[in-house]
Amino acid sequence: MFAILKKEFHSFFASPVGYLVIGLFLVLNALFLWVFDNDFNLFDYGFADLTPFFQLVPWIFIFLIPAVTMRSFSDELRLGTLELLLTRPITTLELVLGKFLGALVLLLLALLPTLVYVYAIDQLGNPQGNYDLGILAGSYLGLLFLATAYCAIGVFASTLSENQIVAFLIAVFISFLFYYGFNGIAETLNIDFLRSLSLQRHFESIGRGVLDSRDLIYFLSVTSVFIALTVFKLESKSVKG
């Protein structure tokens, strides 16, 4: 598994992909938070906290993470190298986890430079340091769980087509459905059960700085289900092959 993770991680930086992902993520955040006149602008927000940042990033992730994961297995399907991978002395689960963790580590590297925003709001606060550390830590933890779920969805979507663009669109659709779609449908039809399936609801719950076991179980369940679906899909392709 670690060999696959290492290979996947190095492949991101052997091409411009890794640099583009990190650069695009940081530039988009900087423009929306500090330059563009919009609802996410921290100067216009009027408070020295990162709420706009944590509202913005999940939407960027919906498009950015599928762009990272779309090649995970679609390339193997297109090049016909999937069967070769599946014959290596590792289990299908280890193969999937290696691809999944490789994408996740890249996203964590993209998130690390945003910690400079913490210093920025610390300096902008009146008095300095006037922010809730618990909410800040909870929100970053929520982003970690959200990225984990999106990566699992993206890796699964990459097994559904050998065309990277199709895999990207499928991942965007599923991610949007889980983040906002279920919540939107629940609000429209007043179905409480669908609200519990919303990534947005559980992300915002963790972002309040209180760790609820139901939120942790939910994120772990979504991630595990999509990893299991990926394993099942690959094994079914192997049997057909």
pLDDT at 130 (0 to 100) = 66
Average pLDDT over residues 158-179: 95
Q: Are 211 and 138 in contact (CB under 8 A)?
A: yes
Residue pair 74/176 in contact by the 8 Å Cβ criterion? no
Its domain, for residue 180, covers: 2-240
* Domains held by the chain: number: 1
- Alpha-carbon distance of 114 to 83, in angstroms, equals 40
pLDDT value, residue 241: 52
The pair of structure tokens assigned to 45 is: 């927000």
- Give the CB-side neighbour count of residue 174, counting CA atoms within 13 A: 22
Q: In this structure, what token pair is assigned to residue 43?
A: 């100067």
Question: Which of 104-113, 145-154, 232-241 is predicted least confidently?
Answer: 232-241
Q: What confidence score (pLDDT) does residue 35 get?
A: 86
Residue 129's pLDDT band (boundaries 50, 70, 90)?
A: low
Distance CA 135, CA 127 (A): 18
Find the radius of gyration of the CA atoms of the chain. 19
pLDDT at 218 over 90: yes
- The answer to which of 113-127, 186-200, 206-220 has the lowest mean pLDDT is 113-127
What percentage of the chain exceeds 90 in pLDDT? 52
What per-residue confidence (pLDDT) applies to 169? 97
Q: Mean pLDDT for the chain?
A: 88
Residue predicted with more confidence, 209 or 145: 145
